[in-house]
Amino acid sequence: GKDVRINQVGSNPVLKQTLPSKVSNISSSEVGISSFRLSWKNITGSSRYDITIHNKTFHTNDTSLLVSSLNPGSVYDVTIVAIGEENNYGETSATYTIHTYQILLNNQMSVMCQQQVHLFTGKIFK
C-alpha cells in the first residue's frame, strides 16, 4: 500500500549503482580428460560470478572454478557474468572455448602396461 508508493517516490539508489564490469582474462589450467579449472580476473564490486557451461550454470564468489564430470575429448563453451552486491548483473563475458583431453589407447600405452605387468610379476616370483 502506502509504504510501497512512498519508497518509489524520488531517486532510487539501486538504479544509480554501476553494474559490475565485463569478466575478462579467462584462462584454463589443470585440464584433464574429464575436468578443468577456469580462472578469471577479479571484478571490483562483484559479490559472485555465474559461470555457464553448456546450459549449466555454476555459482562462486571465487575467481576460479574446478569443473568435473565432463566428457573426454569434448569441446566446452564457457561464459562468465559478474553479479554485484544488489544482484545487478554485469555484461556477459566473451565465450571461452576449452577442449578436454581424449583417452589415448595406442601401442605405446599397451607396451608400457605390458612392461609394468612383467616387472610386477617378476617381483612376485623372486
The 3-state DSSP class for residue 67 equals strand
C-alpha cell at 92: 556477459
The per-residue pLDDT for 14 is 52
- Dist. CA 42–CA 58, nearest whole Å: 17
Q: CB within 8 A of 65, min separation 6: which ones?
A: 37, 38, 49, 51, 58
**pLDDT one digit per residue (tens) for the chain, 126 residues:** 444 444 445 555 555 568 999 999 999 999 999 999 999 999 999 999 999 998 899 999 999 999 999 999 999 999 999 999 999 999 999 999 999 999 876 655 555 555 555 455 444 444
* Cβ-contact 118, 111 below 8 angstroms: no
Query: Does domain 2-125 match CATH 2.60.40.10?
Result: yes
Report domain extents, the chain. 2-125
What pTM did the predictor assign?
Answer: 0.70
* Cβ-contact 41, 23 below 8 angstroms: yes
